[in-house]
């Protein structure tokens, strides 16, 4: 039975934020949901990747549920009963075979990122892969793909200038915050959450802005730890929501399932001539929809930052082209190596038989007909003969793998069985 590697996902490019938010699994129950999903869909391997602008399910299946049926089963499992959530087929992307491998390599190389060239995605994918591997969700096929995709990402970074001066989502958000608070000195910026995004924002603000930091978290101990690290203040989320005090901005990046700040919080903000800048870096949103229209605040969210990131792709058009070439070559080489590995056992038997016959003929020749040649010359002839037999025996493997990879059909890991049949 053949094996299929595929990727199902949605991202900010599909412009369905509600769908993206709903597919962002709760951190505490994520592994349990993924184990259930893997069993429900009959998958062999599964990796879940969630970032601030995408959600993807990388899967391997050799069962009866394949192709579009995997997508349909996934929708039934995760979106059944969500009557208030509207979505269309083109709100998802679904790649299999070579297309899926190419998408994975492009993603880890930051060619699919909101900000092309940012390096955060490589670490995010590595963390997602290691989590799946440690929990038994993934296996050997995704293991080899993951390692090769991360090597490709390193090559793109090394051989192009995409990463030079590149922006991340955090630096884009911090840049916007800095612009809005340019005329404000020593104002208090509340940082809500304790994850990597919060730490990055804190570092940027400390380096580039004259502002006081206030760390806010549901667990006060985590807020205190961050406050000590940045010589700042700390408060629990409950206390902050009840009495936010004098603040000029709120940056929120939590893993909460529901909005952290709702309409009632707006009434607790201190009256001021200046709008409070609210930066929402969470999926699902940390600020409710009322923040979009309220005159007391100015909301900067991920869709708004998306437009800021567009110029990055245009400015790095040439380097993106170089990176695309590197990815294309890496994908073809990976497929070629996979096909060769699959076919070599078939040709190995023929190689062994050819070597045995050649050695017998060699011994007969130099023992009965050409007896005057020295041992060194015999050894040289034997090495040359073995090399020629090896080349002629395995050359068809290279030719066949190259033909399959270069063909217009979507040759991928799921088509290796076809290669075996062709070789017989």
- For domain 169-306, the question of CATH label 3.30.200.210 is answered with no
Check for a shared fold between 4-159 and 169-306: no
pLDDT bin (cut points 50, 70, 90) of residue 275 is: very high
Domain boundaries, the chain: 4-159, 169-306, 340-423
Q: Is the pLDDT of residue 264 over 90?
A: yes
pLDDT tens-place string over residues 197-245: 899 999 999 999 999 999 999 999 999 999 999 999 999 999 999 999 9
pLDDT attached to residue 259: 94
Q: Is the pLDDT of residue 291 over 90?
A: yes
Q: Tell me which fold the domain 4-159 belongs to.
A: Beta Polymerase; domain 2 (3.30.460)
CA 25 remoteness from chain centre: 16
pLDDT bin (cut points 50, 70, 90) of residue 140 is: very high
pLDDT bin (cut points 50, 70, 90) of residue 401 is: low
Length of the chain: 424
Mean pLDDT of the chain: 84
pLDDT attached to residue 306: 73
Comparing 104 with 185, the larger pLDDT belongs to: 104
pLDDT attached to residue 420: 38
Closest CA to 141 of 423, 417, 422, 414: 414
Comparing 180 with 395, the larger pLDDT belongs to: 180
């Amino acid at each position: 039975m053949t094996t299929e590697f595929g990727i199902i996902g949605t991202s900010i490019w599909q412009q369905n934020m509600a769908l993206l938010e709903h597919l962002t699994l709760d951190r505490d129950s994520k592994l349990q949901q993924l184990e259930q999903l893997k069993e429900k869909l009959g998958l062999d391997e599964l990796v879940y990747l969630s970032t601030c602008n995408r959600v993807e399910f990388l899967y391997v299946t050799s069962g009866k549920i394949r192709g579009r049926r995997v997508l349909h089963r996934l929708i039934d499992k995760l979106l059944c009963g969500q009557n208030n959530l509207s979505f269309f087929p083109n709100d998802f992307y679904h790649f299999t075979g070579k297309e899926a491998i190419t998408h994975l390599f492009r993603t880890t190389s930051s060619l699919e990122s909101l900000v092309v060239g940012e390096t955060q995605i490589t670490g995010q994918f590595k963390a997602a892969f290691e989590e799946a591997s440690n929990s038994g969700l993934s296996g050997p096929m995704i293991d080899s793909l993951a390692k090769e995709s991360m090597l490709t990402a390193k090559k793109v970074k090394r051989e192009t200038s995409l990463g030079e001066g590149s922006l991340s989502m955090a630096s884009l958000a911090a840049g916007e915050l800095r612009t809005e608070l340019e005329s404000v000195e020593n104002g208090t910026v509340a940082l809500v959450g304790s994850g990597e995004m919060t730490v990055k924002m804190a570092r940027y603000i400390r380096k580039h802005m004259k502002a006081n930091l206030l760390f806010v978290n549901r667990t006060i101990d985590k807020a205190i730890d961050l406050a000590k690290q940045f010589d700042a203040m700390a408060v629990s989320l409950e206390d902050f929501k009840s009495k936010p005090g004098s603040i000029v901005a709120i940056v929120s990046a939590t893993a909460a399932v529901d909005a952290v700040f709702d309409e009632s919080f707006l009434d607790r903000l201190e009256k001021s001539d200046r709008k409070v800048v609210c930066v929402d870096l969470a999926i699902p949103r940390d600020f409710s929809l009322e923040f979009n229209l309220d005159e007391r605040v100015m909301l900067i969210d991920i869709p708004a930052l998306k437009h800021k990131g567009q110029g990055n792709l245009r400015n790095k058009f040439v380097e993106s082209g170089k990176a695309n070439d590197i990815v294309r070559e890496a994908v073809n080489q990976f497929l070629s190596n996979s096909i060769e590995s699959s076919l070599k056992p078939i040709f190995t038997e023929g190689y062994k038989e050819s070597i045995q016959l050649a050695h017998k003929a060699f011994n007969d020749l130099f023992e009965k007909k050409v007896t005057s040649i020295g041992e060194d010359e015999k050894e040289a002839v034997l090495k040359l003969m073995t090399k020629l037999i090896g080349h002629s025996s395995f050359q068809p493997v290279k030719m066949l793998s190259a033909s399959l990879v270069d063909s217009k059909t979507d040759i991928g890991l799921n088509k290796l069985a076809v290669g075996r049949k062709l070789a017989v």
